[in-house]
Amino acid sequence: MKLRTLVIAMVLTVMLPSVARADEGMWLLSLIGKNYDDMRRAGFQLTPEDIYSVNQSCLKDAIVGLGNAGSPFWHFCTGEIISSQGLVSTNHHCGYGKLQEHSTVEHDYLRDGFWAYTKEQELPNPGLTASILVRMEDVTAKVKESLSDDMSEGDRAAAIKKVCTQIEEEAVAGTKYAAKVKPMFNGNQFFLFVHIIYRDVRLVGAPPSSMGKFGGDTDNWSWPRHTCDFSMFRIYTDKEGNPADYSQDNIPLTPKHHLPVSAGELNDGDFAMVMGFPGTTDHFLTSYGLEEAMDITNKLRYEIRTVKINILREEMAASQATRIKYASKYASCSNYWKYSNEQNKALKNLNTMGVKKAVEQEYSDWARFQSSPKYSKALDLIRKGYADRAKSEESYMYLMEGLLTGSEAPLFASGLCRAFKRDLEQDKNADLGRYEARVNSFFKDYDERVDRRLSAALFEYVYVHMNPDYCPQFLKDANKKYKGNWEKYVNDLYSKSIFANQESLGKFMLKPNAKQLEKDPLAAAGQEALNAYFSCDESVSQESKDNLQRGIRDFTDGILQINEKNGKLMSPDANSTIRLTYGNVMSYDPKDGVAYKYYTTMKGVIEKEGPAGTEFEVPEHLKELYAQKNFGGYTNRRGEMPTCFITNNDITGGNSGSPVINGKGVLIGLAFDGNSEAMSGDIDFEENLQRCICLDSRYMLWVIDVYAGAKNLIEEMDIVR
């Protein structure tokens, strides 16, 4: 709220973590009937059964969670089925990693884009999965039958795991489905999710990165935007329609439901609904957790990644081969690098700390009158828990961001070294050839010179800045021996290691020597960094960890009771399960003297144009089509070619690629970003400022149809004008 910092009484009545407005909340589909009246008032024209039903096709059947085979229930992005032949649209940045994997210097799909004009040209992506919800069920009562308040946290976790495993196994027995029970409201409720998970997902198309990432880091998390953020995939099944691994004999999925795609008008105030798989939010975070998030997590992530970002920018600008190798890694690193900084700004500007403290005061006033003492103890447990782990969390960040995920070779070396040792201990003549695929995958997108440079810079940064009590000994020894010359240290480290490049590793794998593994300095450094990371956890007592977990659960339980008494609905925090948010297309005024309208056009793309190779490069073909006003009938009523629009929907990471659906169930856009002014939204929803930035479906259709000439894709969609 704009006046939230002025009157604390208003904070108490408006900002208690509850449903202050219909557009706040990530709602579970099976419970959406409770929101139906609000949705109708906002412009929804369908029924709750049109959204979620077990007995008939509905919108849920067109919503896809994109994941990886190793963790199919954690969805990194969302997609939507937009044809009867299993065609899926999602964000460009969601497909970016697959574009990068298929790119070479000769076929640079990142630079040039990719389009399959026949199904035979579509590219397989081993490991990529597409998950669709079959049904969900509240199993809280079943789980809580095995729980009691006097249980230790360890016993509670074991009991939950046991009963959830039983529920999951019973839910999918004799079916082709997969199931997972997920906790909600910090362990106060539990829901079963049953999915069908497809394993043959092929790349169909994407515009060049100059369009799909137009604006780059500069425009990220900001409005106005002109980014053509979409890519396309297709789900394949075996001949019986079942999930199957990739095979040339597989056929396109015939979905239960697919979304029509709008080429019609879009107006300020139109109903907008986002369905997808949001990753994580923390709306029940206390002031103590907020302090940790701001002063440790966000602050250190931004500072440490800045070192890495600056090096990668230089290296990628100097070489096309390096740019291709590191494109996906850079994108992954830079996204939450900027997010962390912008979120801290928003949290300060919106006085979120004051809001949280006001909520805690309200909670404390309520807790004093409860018969159970656990509620009055909760905040003290939380406060002490965060204080106990402060030094450990700070060290976690330095070790993870600086040593384990900063450069790549140390962690890769330690992991592979352990695997080699295990095999050679069992058989001194063990064939290490089974690791060839793992080795090839790593070195495909690796440059030893770049990795050396990253290690030197990040090793030095970590040594200089982190608490010496937690600093790995190898950094202390290196600083002493090499007198602060980190480049010389790293060059020696890599030169003496078999893991630093594929040639030396390949020779070793042909003639393995266990003694050589024991002496490998790069593997030893990576292992020591990993050991230091795990030892941080050991520095905090189990009692403190348990008390913090218990305090958070009891505090959340209290907030639920307060809001239930006040007749206010609440949605659980996001946890990569399918959710729905609803609101309206809506312009906004972010600050004094600034007013943003709800949409942008291709005129803005031309106005933002920068030199070739920059974040604002505009392809020549797009400029030609714009000059010709060749918009293919996808303009708005003003004759403009729309590019993006904004709504007031509540979204977060994982929602990327989510369909934005109008009141009639038609796709009007793809959600791809939030706005910097309300980057506090994952912690505290700001209803006047929160905006979801979306690609307009008309821009997507224009690119497919006019820019790319992929008429084959246009013909299989149901386009609504």
Distance CA 207, CA 110 (A): 8
Query: What are 193's strand-pairing partners?
Result: 136, 180
485-489 contacts at long range (C-beta below 8 A, 24 or more positions apart): 486/456, 486/457, 486/459, 486/460, 487/456, 489/456, 489/459
93 is catalytic: yes
Q: What are the φ and ψ backbone dihedral angles of 251, each rounded to 5 degrees?
A: -125, 155
H/E stretch holding 340: helix 320-349
The identity of residue 241, as a single letter, is G
Distance separating alpha carbons of residues 699 and 636, to the nearest angstrom: 11
DSSP assignment letter at 71: B
Q: How many residues are given for the chain? A: 721
The catalytic position among 656, 676, 680, 697 is 656
Q: Alpha-carbon dihedral of residues 161, 74, 549, 652, nearest 10 degrees? A: -150
Residue 229 annotated in active site: yes
Long-range contacts of 7-14 (CB under 8 A, 24+ apart): 8/354, 8/358, 11/354, 11/355, 11/358, 12/358, 12/359, 12/361, 12/362
Residue type at 47?
Answer: T
Amino acid at 566: N
Beta bridge partners of 201: 235
Alpha carbon of residue 321 to chain centroid: 27
Residue 357's nearest CA partner among 715, 703, 11 is 11
Other Cβ atoms within 10 Å of 684 Cβ, number: 25
Q: How far apart are CA 179 and CA 420, in angstroms?
A: 35
Q: Are 606 and 628 in contact (CB under 8 A)?
A: no
**Catalytic residue of the set 93, 226, 258, 283:** 93
Segment holding 300, helix H or strand E: helix 299-318
373-402 burial, b if ≥16 CB within 10 A, otherwise e? ebbbbbbebbbebbebbebbbbbbbbbbbb
Cβ neighbours for 395, distance < 8 A, ≥ 6 positions apart: 466, 467, 470, 532, 536
Contact 600, 669 (CB under 8 A): no
Q: What is the pairing mode between strands 719-720 and 261-262?
A: parallel
Cis peptide bond N-terminal to 208, omega within 30: no
How far is residue 39's CA from residue 532's CA, in Å, rounded to a whole number?
51
Query: What span, in angstroms and rounded, lies between the C-alpha atoms of 359 and 154?
Result: 30
CA 222 to chain centre: 17
What is the CA 371 to chain-centroid distance, rounded? 41
* CA separation for the pair 297, 285 (Å, rounded): 14
Residues belonging to the active site: 93, 229, 656
